Structure 1
Amino acid sequence: MRFRHRAAAGFAILVLPLAGIVGLSGHAQASAEAAPTATATFTKTGDWGNGFGGNWTVKNTGASAISSWTVEWDFPSDTKVGSAWDATVTNSGNHWTAKNVGWNGAIAPGASVSFGFNGTGPGSPSNCTLNGGSCDGGPSVPGDNPPSAPGTPTASGVTDTSVKLSWGAATDDKGVKNYDVLRDGKKVATVTTTSYTDNGLTAGTDYSYSVQARDTADQTGPVSASVAVHTTGGGGGNPPTGDKVKLGYFTEWGIYGRNYNVKNLVTSGSASKITHINYAFGNVTGGKCAIGDSYADYDKAFTADQSVSGVADNWDQPLRGNFNQLRQLKAKYPNIKVLYSFGGWTWSGGFADAAKNPAAFAQSCYDLVHDPRWSDVFDGIDIDWEYPNACGLTCDSSGPAAFKNLLAAVRAKFGKELVTAATTADGSAGGKIDLTDYAGASQYVDWYNVMTYDFFGAWDAKGPTAPHSPLTSYDGIPKDGFNTADAIARYKAQGVPAKKLLLGIGFYGRGWTGVTQDAPGGTATGAAPGTYEAGIEDYKVLKTSCPTTGTIAGTAYAHCGSNWWSYDTPATIKSKMAWANSQGLGGAFFWEFSGDTSNGELVSALSSGL
């Protein structure tokens, strides 16, 4: 997958609730009126290693004006404020105070003001108060910690219309008053005990339950982990998926510039039409599996509108980030299996060291995938080595048996969990498929994701123009064997079972500029402009910016102005799925969710086609 690059994090947001404010004598707030209906939100605007940019936004959420404001918070001892603007910032040890300047103290209802600073150190704010009250708009109770998260609910007595829930008690320094019961992220009851029976449900339906505690000051604590419940009867639940794999890649970096979150799988309708998700990517370095982007993976706090559950992340909950969102998705769609994918185009260079000690590599991957913080999120592992015993971003010379040996070690460690691999689609004679023992390795995998796309593109700047994902060969194809049918045939000939081969679909197009002819085979001057990278563009953009001109080898192409693009459409995907069925393939997969339309039309075509 040629374009798997990591995007830099644009920003990090923390909405900080009151959590045991460290009061300081002498910090009088007589001039600051109490504001229980106002919030203070911290945004990390940039990070340059030994320093960062910070921004606070104070918003008046009440019905009357605020005349002045004071924000207080704690930083770890290794984190400090440097220069600040639009506020007077002082500190006493690790406790920091920001007061409005003369011109920005008054805030009308619904309005907000901001101030910023440059900081040093790695820490994040905690124990925030606004005008002596909670920064999340809660009651004015400085010094009173919110309650802890209750235990994960357990379900019993499930019927067509009801379920009994029980959970472990939360703790609080002043005492727990009651519990809110959340169904699919929305409060359905408040109870004083640690159990609740929810009635009036729909038969054969999936629900997700969690709970949060309230203390005697009515502060809410973190939401518990959720439990999935499927009511009996009705024949409902997730739609039948048959025995075909319908898998999509979710990229960890898509939450940044693309603003594509796990929740988008729900709002687009795609989550109900897939069977598996590959989370991309974990790194491979020093012969071991490693976290790819810790902030995106398990630290980023999602707001309520970004969250699958509809509940905002708390600053002190045990797990945030994409991993927690995937956990919430699985609670809502329990048929979906999630695999942690390691490597990819950028990080495949690390597999050469991994191949030197496959057992140690497998152990490191197992330990990471089964980290107690997120062990329930993943159902297996995907190895994306681009390419064993061949050249990708780097060249590998581990030998034809290295891939098989690596996967044998991974299977031995992961046992009956899912083990899969993304593999080349170079079906040319003597090409990448022929250089590795994919047949021998296939005994250790559940399936191969055959990357039947990126055959041709604007890395050949002058062309000739050609579809990047041809299903079959055609007169004038630039390179023999660079098509789906030849790749699948070569795997079968090597001895890989058809049911262990998935056909790949790209949810994007590749294109050239400086092209004068409609038909493939034209000359070009370079890569066509793209939103994130020259020569590549999402389907959701191309479908309107450069509508299709025709079809070649089962893939659409489009000539608009001087630009020439090729990409798959719902129609070509359905035809490719019919071909996959005729070949006895195990299903299909795609790279990647964010290229689809907001209503998931490509996922729908893939799912219905299988």
Structure 2
Amino acid sequence: MTARRRRSPGDAGPNPPSPDLTRGAPLRSPSATKRPFRPFRPFRPFLRGGRIGALLAALLLPLTALVVLAPAAQAAGATATYTKVQDWGTGFEGKWTVKNTGTTGISSWTVSWTFPAGTSVASAWDADVTGSGTTWTARNKSWNGTLSPGASVSFGFNGAGPGSPSGCTVNGAACDGSGGGQPGDNPPTAPGTPAASNVTDTSVTLNWTAATDDHGVRNYDVLRDGAVVATVTGTSHTSTGLSAGSTYSYTVRARDTADQLGPPSGARSVTTTGGGGGEPPPGGAGKTSLGYFTEWGVYGRNYHVKNLVTSGSAAKITHINYAFGNVKNGQCVLDDAYAATDKAYTADQSVDGVADTWDQPLRGNFNQLLKLKRAYPHIKILYSFGGWTYSGGFGQAAANPAAFAQSCHDVVFNPKWAGLFDGIDIDWEYPNACGLSCDSSGFSSFKSLMQALRSKFAGKLVTAAITADGTSGGKIDAADYGGAAASVDWYNVMTYDYFGAWANTGPTAPHSPLTSYPGIPIAGFHSDAAIQKLKGKGVPAAKLLLGIGFYGRGWTGVTQSAPGGSATGPAPGTYEQGIEDYKVLRSTCPATGTAAGTAYAKCGSNWWSYDTPATIAGKMSYARSQGLGGAFFWEFSGDTPGGELASAIRAGLG
């Protein structure tokens, strides 16, 4: 795996190493673990519902029974009954039993039901279960769809939420056997995926291709976010009463003359026009408290989504940036699919205490973050693309902003992890300037890119992490951050990494000074200079978040306690020389002084600077006095197991 470097806002000299250079280095290659051992599901008899059980049952059947089991026309007379097997408070196990109550064999079955909002299926076995809004549909596996008259089969699932199913249908008829046609009367087919047109702030027109049925289609149900909003006889519908700048999911299902319901169409996502972008973030005084969660942290750092819960941080934050998606060939792409979507979690590792199963469609960080959002519905999650290592593709992206925005939308709102992300964050280091590589796309390229993203992500959050170089003619002056501000909900101003041991011989200096101080190595390399410069370019203060690093930077060979001393090189660190987590430094090298609002300490010949709860309190006071929108931090795993720094940010913002 490619190691990820984070950033240096000023980067006046050689490109410095950064907080995540080796944080991304796993103990093992993800590609070597893409097929992890998949244990048997607990509490399930060995032969229950599995292929082996089905095979043995078939071998034991008399020859005459095998004739009955041969595929036959779908017949009315199937039922489906639901049982809640167990409930553990934060989740439950449910079971459906499908029975053929007719006189002819059934070659396949589909069960559909509705859960109230807040209740969902997390994983399932012995059926393929999919969800659209509040509607859930289960289809037989290849080996358990055939049912002879009187035979039954069960499938189960783990659910989250308090609700019970309603509106159940099996093969399009009522699950209690009260509806449906005559034997041999098939339910209608699925209509075509609806097309959307005439989208306004409050309405959208839908059109779809007709379903087919052996006895004729009577009408269609139109479902919005899983709930029926209209029943029409034609193949079009205008949905009204919508909210501006909001996204809805529409499906259609047909009903035949025998009142049998067919399967739903594919889903069409529609975002209404209007709306100013993202909503005001929840939290104290309306301030944003955002943390970065690193995709690769699940390896060597052993930091997982559940740590956000056990540390108490989930209750203190308003937003999470998931870092990082890659930018290749001018397009957004998923980076580490194993960590994001495939890594299996045991019950004790999982946010809700429910283990992943080998056959569930989504695992990994994305599934755990979905569970986190159910437990903490106030949290919004953005997918962050770029970073120090992955910014090289932005120049090509700027050549075709609309295509780039479309590619990002396709990744962020992939149906496989529908409902996870609330927007996008762009971490371009740096437009029209140099980071790990140099960009020459021009002064207006960043503005054009953000305008395209705002247009494509209407009604969603669009943010960007940007340089904090407050020098005259520096990186803030290199791109049109002021002009792009109209397209973003906020900027994450990277007010850290100003100074570090990439300058091997020093002078020692706090890496995230809030203000200038006598002897500062470079004038304009401090947080206040960046904030004032951005304000001067017309960026509203409420769209600026102050950055906090949950780590320190240090030198070795230092004899002077105060800042400004000489050094011989970077201090040793757990993952990379010259950098160490706060959770380590707070005990191994406690702070002895402060400079420009940042703590520092000298321990033996090592000298470190980092933020503490006390200095964070001072920086949050500054953020309030400047009318800033809040604060963000890099990144969760540097904090203590009790979330000490995240708590300090939340308390400081009020």
Output the TM-score relative to the length of structure 1: 0.70
Letter of the 1:299 partner, please give it: D
Alpha-carbon distance, 1:303 to partner = 1.1
Kept after mapping to 1: 8 A contact 2:291/2:634: yes
Kept after mapping to 2: 8 A contact 1:352/1:396: yes
Could you tell me which residue of structure 2 aligns to residue 522 of structure 1?
A: 565
Instruction: Name the CA shift for 1:373/1:182 in 2 (closer, same or farther; >3 Å).
Output: farther
Structure 1 residue corresponding to 2:450, chosen from 407, 412, 415? 407
2:352 aligned with 1:309: yes
Alpha-carbon distance, 1:419 to partner = 0.1
2:592 aligned with 1:549: yes
Could you tell me which residue of structure 1 aligns to residue 430 of structure 2?
A: 387
Kept after mapping to 1: 8 A contact 2:125/2:359: no
Tell me the distance in 1 between the aligned counterparts of 2:613 and 2:52: 50
Instruction: Name the CA shift for 1:184/1:552 in 2 (closer, same or farther; >3 Å).
Output: farther
Structure 2 residue corresponding to 1:340, chosen from 369, 376, 383? 383
Tell me the distance in 2 between the aligned counterparts of 1:603 and 1:465: 27
The structure number with the bigger radius of gyration is 2
Alpha-carbon distance, 1:482 to partner = 0.3
Could you tell me which residue of structure 2 aligns to residue 263 of structure 1?
A: 306
Could you tell me which residue of structure 1 aligns to residue 158 of structure 2?
A: 223
Bigger CA drift: 323-332 or 137-146? 137-146
Could you tell me which residue of structure 2 aligns to residue 251 of structure 1?
A: 294
Instruction: Determine helix, strand or coil for the equivalent of 1:442.
Output: helix
Instruction: Name the CA shift for 1:228/1:408 in 2 (closer, same or farther; >3 Å).
Output: farther
Alpha-carbon distance, 1:366 to partner = 0.4
Instruction: Name the CA shift for 1:443/1:220 in 2 (closer, same or farther; >3 Å).
Output: same
2:515 aligned with 1:465: no
Could you tell me which residue of structure 1 aligns to residue 83 of structure 2?
A: 178
Q: Which has the higher contact order (CA 8 A, sep 6+)?
A: 2
Could you tell me which residue of structure 2 aligns to residue 357 of structure 1?
A: 400
Could you tell me which residue of structure 1 aligns to residue 321 of structure 2?
A: 278
Computed over aligned residues only, the root mean square deviation of the Cα atoms, in angstroms, reads: 3.3
Kept after mapping to 1: 8 A contact 2:380/2:422: yes
Letter of the 1:7 partner, please give it: G
Which residues of structure 2 form unaligned runs of 5+?
A: 1-5, 8-17, 54-79, 99-111, 127-150, 165-280
Could you tell me which residue of structure 2 aligns to residue 10 of structure 1?
A: 27
Could you tell me which residue of structure 1 aligns to residue 633 of structure 2?
A: 590
Alpha-carbon distance, 1:223 to partner = 2.6
Q: How does 1:67-466 map to 2 (within 5 A)?
A: 134=40, 136=42, 138-141=44-47, 144-145=50-51, 178-180=83-85, 182=87, 185-187=90-92, 210=121, 221-224=156-159, 240-466=283-509
Instruction: Determine helix, strand or coil for the equivalent of 1:454.
Output: coil
Structure 1 residue corresponding to 2:581, chosen from 521, 538, 547? 538
Tell me the distance in 2 between the aligned counterparts of 1:476 and 1:367: 49
Kept after mapping to 2: 8 A contact 1:428/1:480: yes
Instruction: Name the CA shift for 1:348/1:606 in 2 (closer, same or farther; >3 Å).
Output: same
Which residues of structure 1 form unaligned runs of 5+?
A: 12-45, 54-121, 129-133, 148-174, 199-205, 230-237
Q: Deviations over 1:302-336 (max 9, x none)?
A: 11111111111111101101011110000001110
Letter of the 1:338 partner, please give it: I
Instruction: Name the CA shift for 1:444/1:219 in 2 (closer, same or farther; >3 Å).
Output: same
Kept after mapping to 2: 8 A contact 1:427/1:486: yes
Alpha-carbon distance, 1:254 to partner = 0.7
Instruction: Name the CA shift for 1:138/1:448 in 2 (closer, same or farther; >3 Å).
Output: same
Instruction: Name the CA shift for 1:467/1:504 in 2 (closer, same or farther; >3 Å).
Output: same
Tell me the distance in 2 between the aligned counterparts of 1:213 and 1:601: 38
Alpha-carbon distance, 1:545 to partner = 0.4
Letter of the 1:257 partner, please give it: G
Report sequence identity in percent: 62
Letter of the 1:579 partner, please give it: Y
Instruction: Determine helix, strand or coil for the equivalent of 1:277.
Output: strand
Alpha-carbon distance, 1:375 to partner = 2.4
Tell me the distance in 2 between the aligned counterparts of 1:476 and 1:228: 63
Tell me the distance in 2 between the aligned counterparts of 1:137 and 1:369: 36
Letter of the 1:254 partner, please give it: G
Structure 1 residue corresponding to 2:602, chosen from 525, 545, 559? 559
Instruction: Determine helix, strand or coil for the equivalent of 2:374.
Output: helix
Output the TM-score relative to the length of structure 2: 0.65
Could you tell me which residue of structure 1 aligns to residue 611 of structure 2?
A: 568
Tell me the distance in 1 between the aligned counterparts of 2:583 and 2:556: 19
Alpha-carbon distance, 1:494 to partner = 1.1
Bigger CA drift: 451-460 or 207-216? 207-216
Tell me the distance in 2 between the aligned counterparts of 1:347 and 1:228: 43
Instruction: Determine helix, strand or coil for the equivalent of 1:419.
Output: strand
Kept after mapping to 1: 8 A contact 2:558/2:605: yes
Instruction: Determine helix, strand or coil for the equivalent of 1:373.
Output: helix
Instruction: Name the CA shift for 1:544/1:357 in 2 (closer, same or farther; >3 Å).
Output: same
Letter of the 2:24 partner, please give it: A
Tell me the distance in 1 between the aligned counterparts of 2:331 and 2:295: 19
Letter of the 2:573 partner, please give it: G
Alpha-carbon distance, 1:386 to partner = 0.4
Tell me the distance in 1 between the aligned counterparts of 2:373 and 2:51: 31
Tell me the distance in 2 between the aligned counterparts of 1:218 and 1:519: 74
Instruction: Name the CA shift for 1:466/1:135 in 2 (closer, same or farther; >3 Å).
Output: same
Tell me the distance in 1 between the aligned counterparts of 2:52 and 2:610: 52
Tell me the distance in 2 between the aligned counterparts of 1:260 and 1:221: 31
Q: Deviations over 1:401-441 (max 9, x none)?
A: 00000000110101110000000000001110011110000
Tell me the distance in 1 between the aligned counterparts of 2:152 and 2:588: 55
Instruction: Name the CA shift for 1:211/1:552 in 2 (closer, same or farther; >3 Å).
Output: closer
Tell me the distance in 1 between the aligned counterparts of 2:489 and 2:579: 31
Kept after mapping to 2: 8 A contact 1:508/1:568: yes
Alpha-carbon distance, 1:180 to partner = 3.5
Instruction: Determine helix, strand or coil for the equivalent of 1:249.
Output: strand
Alpha-carbon distance, 1:10 to partner = 3.2
Alpha-carbon distance, 1:7 to partner = 2.2
